Chains A and B, each alone.
Chain A
Amino acid sequence: MDFAVIFVIAVALGFDYVNGFHDAANSIATVVSTRVLTPRIAVVWAAFFNFVAFLVFGTAVASTIANDVVVQSVLSIGVVFAGLIGAIAWDLITFWLGLPTSSSHALVGGIAGAAVAKAGFGVLITEGLRKIGVFIVLSPLLGLAVGLLITLAIYWVFHRNRNIERLNRGFRRGQLVSAAAFSLGHGANDAQKTMGVILALLIATGHLAPGSSTPVWVVLSAHTAIALGTLTGGWRIVKTMGSKITRLQPVGGVAAESGAAITLFATSIGGIPVSTTHTITGGIVGVGAARRLSAVRWGVAGRVVWAWVLTIPGAFAVAWLTMQAVDLLS
């Protein structure tokens, strides 16, 4: 394996680390904002479940990223590198602004932008991009609906219980499970995107035959990188997700995380790359909407939606420019 391939794999794992740093903050936002765990223990808890996700889920999402975004013949070391730079730059810009955008869609936008810069719009696979695009809209709505239905079910089951303090204590323990489930889903869906990029690179450079499955060392290194990113944490976004959209009690935390976790499990099994940010935002809004719509701070939720809309074009543009620079230099 030559130096350029190793370097781009290192950049991909760097993206995975930034993804953990940027997105995994969402998975511990509710558990921290409801004071179930201290921030330090919460990141260790989330990182552990990020890592063990490889034992539970397959690599269907990795296959979608490697095969269904752009035609494989256009992929090269330069394209993958430029795509990753576009995604990382967009992630860091939105991290600096405190916006909970999607690293996943930044990656898709970045790879698409770099491929288009190299060979034009004809290299985009419309079917794959349409599937990803549809779930940009559906995943938060799915998280919202499931989060809301779980909240209603909890209210219905426990509506006769008058001992609120005891009930809250029970849900605080329950949040440990729901946070773990969400981190598991996060590790499964997000780490696989990096695996997909590395898989595409290895196929493009002839290190693997087309249609190969993801090697174990790629799976392990991607999960390690995202878990390390989670350990480092990203507190600006935790604040936005955990308290600015709606105030959460432990019962709400359980419902939001469970809704988001169910969405992530289903999409990971279905091979659909979705954003953990989108799903947990949907779950949190669902919990707020179960009480009353005014419990949701729509100004913040609207800002989040704008960030979603801009993510793919933003990462696309940065990657396009990077690809032009790579072409000039080479």
Chain B
Amino acid sequence: MTDLENLTDEKLVELIRTQNQELYSTIIRRYQQKISHYLRKFVHNHDELEDVLQDVFIKAFRNLNDFDKSKRFSPWIYRIAHNEALNFLKKNHKQQLSLDQEDIQILDTTADIKQSVDSILNRTAVENALSQIKIKFQEPLILYFFEQKSYEEISEILHIPTSTVGTLISRGKIQLKELLKQYGKQ
């Protein structure tokens, strides 16, 4: 058991593919909370979130043979979660994001938006502002600030060059600040 816990995701995937498919439960345990935290931004209803989460793990399992073991597993499964979240939004015509208080605190300390928006930095305002930003800016902002992913990881998840990640985050941040300022004036 301890050995299993010490195995890297990539080695574990190799074992699942070649020896024991039941080891996939370890992958689920490792990623369930992280992926759930990410999906919660897009899927607010608890039952729907559970369904999407299940779909992510089922899709990941079915496609395990497509995973390139020379790359990292984490961005690969996040990519699947990202696609499932987008599919969910498309299917349900939803755009509104949902953040928890912890997310707001993270944004507050890392995104450098406190100075410009100060008193209006409440959850609803940030949720609304983020929801209004184009999805191409929204995705890297969420992954960077709320999921604490590096530029490199975001680049792997979204399949875009690392330099583009930086540009999108920087532009997204400017848009977010502008929108929050507008909310402050209202």
Judge: A and B partners, yes or no: no
